[in-house]
Amino acid sequence: MPHQIETATRLQEVRYEIRGELARRALELEQQGRAIVKLNIGNPGLFGFETPAHLRAAIREHLPQSDPYCHQQGLAAAREAIAMREIARGAPNASPDSVFIGNGVSELIDLALRGLLNPGDEVLVPSPDYPLWTAAVILNGGYAVHYPCHPQNDFVPDIADIEVRITPRTRAIVVINPNNPTGAVYPRALLEQIADLAARHRLVVMADEIYDEILYDDAEFVAMATVATETVCLTFSGLSKVHRACGWRVGWMSLSGYLKRAQDYRHALDLLAALRLCSNVTAQWTIQPALFGPNTINTLIAPGGRLHDTRRAVVDACARSRFLTLVKPMGALYAFPGIDTALLPAFDDHRFALELLESEDVLLVPGSSFNVPYRTHFRLTLLPQAHLVDDVFARIERALERASQQAHLHMAVA
């Protein structure tokens, strides 16, 4: 066997199961002619959602102007629109000069951490998290220190659990609200506590708010920038979810708060943005009409709307299940069911997800992929039609029943 090229050792600590081993196995099964129900990723276009017509019209109108590179931070009109929205929400001193547009939020997360971290620096990251955050910290030489968001507390963190993890090497805290994967929406009082903690310890707040307008029932979203006024706050958002434009790769981050502390950091971000020249120009023309044009998400999340109905179907299916528990998601595009360990004490999320894929043609993401210490949950997206949910959960229940029977058999043999 030829000598293999050595890869970077830091990659051994990086996980992204959303598109990992199980997704590769699902592709193999599809190539064999199996029809796989893919609930592993929040990709609206794959479930029949379309980007709003007025955004497509903006691309057609401005296509002739999209050939050259633009400024490394993004089109001026787009940055002005983002800053105007942040100011309207109550973010202090947001401005176009402090807005960076990227090829999706993912690129900007990497850029923001690259400009901040030195080897060995620490970043507080929620557990469960969207795993890109942990991966990006590691890939930029830092350590992700996870603060717990326990299911028994509706996946909302406790400020004492956060503060006890701060050390002299802590540089930033990540807040994902509404949360992926749990659907938790954080109350104002908690966000104010986090902002106060960050100010006292001089931490940069990194607020991932890509699902900011996807809320259910009486959930209220509070923008982190409106309370994190005494420290530096980076707000991340984009068009992928609220405006169902994942493939357009349009994201942004806006700096606000105590920006006198961020002058050198802002210059570092500008340098890193310049090194990749600019983000996709064509799609940037849709930012202003997206933020100030017709609202197209409210009809989907209101009673009778597609996302509202699918969420209700998931909640009802978990309530009917003999094995499942669920903290009702109040925002975002996911549910994070757990297993009743009294019935299945030896449950392993990855083993179950693989068995479900092989036997029932359903692709889910094991909960441990989201950097939690337990293996008793899984994530699925709320994007399919509600009628498909009932079929999917019937398959899940069959697989769980088989797992229960096998567990009892092993106990009897033992």
pLDDT tens for each residue of 198-250 = 999 999 999 999 999 999 999 999 999 999 999 999 999 999 999 999 999 99
Q: What percentage of the chain exceeds 90 in pLDDT?
A: 90
pLDDT tens for each residue of 57-75 = 999 999 999 999 999 999 9
The reported pLDDT for the residue numbered 92 is 84
Q: How far is it, in rounded angstroms, from Cα 333 to Cα 319? A: 19
CATH code reported for the domain at 9-50+299-413: 3.90.1150.10
Average pLDDT along the chain: 94
More confident residue, 14 or 316: 316
The DSSP 8-state label assigned to residue 286 in this structure reads: T
Q: How far is it, in rounded angstroms, from Cα 309 to Cα 386? A: 6
Phi, psi of 121 (to 5 degrees): -65, 155
More confident residue, 151 or 404: 151
The DSSP 8-state label assigned to residue 66 in this structure reads: -
From the CB of residue 279, how many other CB atoms can be counted at a distance below 10 Å?
26
In our burial notation (b when 16+ CB lie closer than 10 A, e otherwise), range 42-76 reads bbbeebebebbeebeebbeebeeeeeeebebbbbe
What residue segments make up the domains of the chain, in order of their start? 9-50+299-413, 68-292
7 — pLDDT class (breaks 50, 70, 90): confident
The reported pLDDT for the residue numbered 410 is 62
pLDDT tens for each residue of 279-300 = 999 999 999 999 999 999 999 9
| CATH architecture of structural domain 68-292 | 3-Layer(aba) Sandwich (3.40)
E strand or H helix at 60: helix 53-62
pLDDT tens for each residue of 163-195 = 999 999 999 999 999 999 999 999 999 999 999
Strands (DSSP E) contained in 75-202 are 99-102, 122-127, 143-148, 170-176
Report yes or no: 177 and 221 within 8 Å, Cβ to Cβ: yes
Say what the pTM is.
0.94
pLDDT tens for each residue of 141-170 = 999 999 999 999 999 999 999 999 999 999
The reported pLDDT for the residue numbered 13 is 80
The reported pLDDT for the residue numbered 408 is 66
